[in-house]
Amino acid sequence: MKHDFSNKILPVLAIFAGLLAVDIAYSLVAAKIDFSSEAAAVGSFPDKWIHGSKSAMDNTDAAVQVHEYNEHTFILRENKAINYEGAFMYVFFGNGVAMLIDQGSTASPVLFPLREVVDEIIATWEQKHQQKVQLIVANSHLHGDHFAAWNQFVDRPNTLLVGLTHEEMMAFWGFENYPQQLLEYDLGGRKMLVTGTPGHQGSEIAIYDEWTDLLYTGDMFYRGRLYLEDWDAWVDSIQRIYKIANDYPISALVNNHIEMTDTPTVDYPIGTTWQPNEPPMEMTVDMLGQAYEATKVIKEPGIYKYDDFLIYNEIPWAYTTDP
């Protein structure tokens, strides 16, 4: 019996123990990231974003500026010398998954190699955290300056493209009652709240990230000209995200563009490709509060100036504040 144990059972146990040890070692190395902490994960914004140049032809800045807000959150900006929109894009990481929100204003991978940049961010993250991630290509809303480079991801392996129709967006997030619904979305253990925010565009969403306490407001609220095609819808949207901002801790509001100068109420002219005196992109709940108050007093179409944003309420372009 002793002979059987050492000759037959011991090898079986040794194989079992070896496999288990390898499994445990791997799971320790590739430990899941805990996104559940009560306190907001700390992050930082750059002092100044790259903001174009006097001569776009001579611009030598990167086509895509990559800013690591924290190790699982990246903010990207398209070079204004490539497209005046200078759109911001976001990469949020969860366990086993990354989400790219928006794909900029330029289709050409030569001028605007967004896929290459995102692939590098993901490869670096995967190596650091010993996890393979699936990429979700999503959009804040359906305007062309936010999905022009979408095609660069069509043939990317291990990638889910949400799609560029209203119906595909709604199906992905699980909206059954857009825009009123407040949805919980689990990005690999990273809890997010998603709600509809039409007004600027009829498929827009806002996202609250419970891990960083960032509230992402896309094109419906940012430092610039808030172009509103549907005032009533925007009023409801502002009220919805203002409620989120009051119900949950907020570290900052983040969004898609900067069009204001650092002088209150003054914006850069539309089409500007050099903005040396930009204010920060991030905004505060107080600023959102001003928009909330504005929804109570504005009754007519027109341009309404506030220190940090301008409301273009269904107005003719002739009344622009551009010089």
Partner 1 sequence: MLIAPLSLTRFAMIWLSLAAVFMPQVVNSHILNMTEITVVPGDQAPGVIRITIDLGQSLMTPEDYWAASTEPDKEKRKDIVRIIVGQLNNGIRVFGDGKELAKAFANLELRAFSLEAIKNPLTPQMAVLEFTFQAGFVSAAATGALTEVAKNTVKDIAIEIADDLELPWPCLVRIERPLAKLPASRLLTEDKRQTGAVALQDGAESEAGTDWLTRATLQFQSWVGPITWLSLGFQHIVPNGLDHIAFVMGLYFLSLPLVKLLWQISVFTLAHSITLLLATFNVIPAPANIVEPLIALSIVYVAMDNLFAKRLRRMRVSVVFGFGLIHGLGFASSLSALSVFDDAGGLRLHDLLLFNVGVELGQLSVILGLLVLLGWARNASFYKERIADPFSMGIAGVGLYWFVKRVFS
Rounded to a whole number of angstroms, the minimum distance from the CB of residue 22 to partner 1 is 9
Q: Is there binding between residue 322 and partner 1 (CB under 8 A)? A: yes
Question: Which region among 71-79, 127-135, 137-145, 181-189 touches partner 1 (by CB under 8 A)?
Answer: 137-145
Q: Is there binding between residue 220 and partner 1 (CB under 8 A)? A: no
- Are 117 and 82 a contacting pair, CB within 8 Å? no
* Sequence-distant (≥ 6) Cβ neighbours of residue 120 within 8 angstroms: none
- Among residues 35, 93, 150, 242, the one that binds partner 1 under rule CB under 8 A: 150
- Among residues 50, 63, 82, 241, the one that binds partner 1 under rule CB under 8 A: 82
Please identify which residue in the block is written with the tokens 């190395």: 29
Strand partners, 91: 74, 100
Q: Is there binding between residue 108 and partner 1 (CB under 8 A)? A: yes
Rounded to a whole number of angstroms, the minimum distance from the CB of residue 165 to partner 1 is 5
Token pair, residue 212, equals 């960083």
- CA distances, 35 to each of 79, 92, 104, 130, 212 (Å): 31, 12, 28, 16, 9
Alpha helices (runs of H) in 53-133, residue ranges in sequence order: 114-129
Chain CA centroid to CA 268, Å: 23
Question: Which region among 78-86, 126-134, 238-246, 290-298 touches partner 1 (by CB under 8 A)?
Answer: 78-86
- Among residues 249, 269, 276, 302, the one that binds partner 1 under rule CB under 8 A: 269
Nearer to partner 1, 11 or 276 (CB): 11
CA–CA–CA angle 172, 173, 175 (5° rounding): 110
d(CA 201, CA 141): 7
Nearer to partner 1, 43 or 199 (CB): 199
d(CA 275, CA 152): 28
- Among residues 74, 175, 178, 227, the one that binds partner 1 under rule CB under 8 A: 227
User: Given the rule CB under 8 A, which residues bind partner 1?
Assistant: 4, 8, 11-16, 18-20, 23, 53-59, 81-85, 105-108, 111, 143-145, 147-148, 150-151, 154, 163-165, 167-168, 171, 200-201, 219, 225, 227, 257, 269-273, 312, 314-318, 320, 322-323
